[in-house]
Amino acid sequence: MALSTNDLKNGMTLNLPEGLFTVVEFQHVKPGKGGAFVRTKLKNARSGAVLDRTFRADEKVEQAMIDKREMQYLYRDGEDYVFMDSTTYDQLHVSDQQLGSAASFVKEGDSAVLQLFGTEIVGVDLPAAVELTVTATEPGVQGDRVSGARKVATLETGLTVQVPLFVEQGERIKVDTRTGEYITRA
């Protein structure tokens, strides 16, 4: 769908010759001399790379229609993750590469919003924090109570995070999905 650069909004996805890009920010500029233009900051939907690009005012760009579907992660099938569409019950096989960093935060039964462009997955929306179980960590040593001291813990998805010394194996903790850091005990 063709769209004027005057109608850009944050979060829109554009199908440019360089690939799929999401508008992070935009600014309309009208200099005293010459034509108006739109300065944008775009994020590549596939690689995450950020690009600054300037368009003429009222230049036509192609808007990409991204289908956001709520899906539930069911199980691993070899290398793939199997997700089920919550409305149609269709199953979708998703590779590690398509999930990206989201693979470290999803466990069986969790829901995520998959962003699809045609049949290609271009993004995954996760909740801000997830609860995961600690599967391995060093035991805290009695008397070792240095303020702010941390140790490494491996979680049920294979993710490793720095946690406070008091966190024990088998406990559930909250992890921030944007930074991958420990928040609190669950």
Per residue in 115-125, pLDDT tens?
888 878 888 88
Given a cut of 80, whether residue 162 has pLDDT beyond it is yes
Mean pLDDT calculated for residue range 172-179: 86
Together in a domain, 136 and 107: no
pLDDT of residue 141: 65
* Nearest partner of 22 among 128, 126, 125, 175, judged by Cα: 125
Together in a domain, 11 and 32: yes
Structural domain for 120, as ranges: 67-125
DSSP secondary structure of 53-100 = EEEETT-EEEBP-PEEEEEEEEEEETTEEEEEETTT--EEEE-HHHHG
Mean pLDDT calculated for residue range 52-61: 87
- Tens-digit pLDDT profile for residues 87-104: 888 888 888 878 877 888
146 — pLDDT class (breaks 50, 70, 90)? low
Together in a domain, 136 and 121: no
Together in a domain, 133 and 172: yes
* Nearest partner of 159 among 138, 184, 176, judged by Cα: 176
Q: How many structural domains compose the chain? A: 3
Together in a domain, 22 and 6: yes
- Cα–Cα distance measured from residue 168 to residue 153, given in angstroms and rounded to the nearest whole number: 9
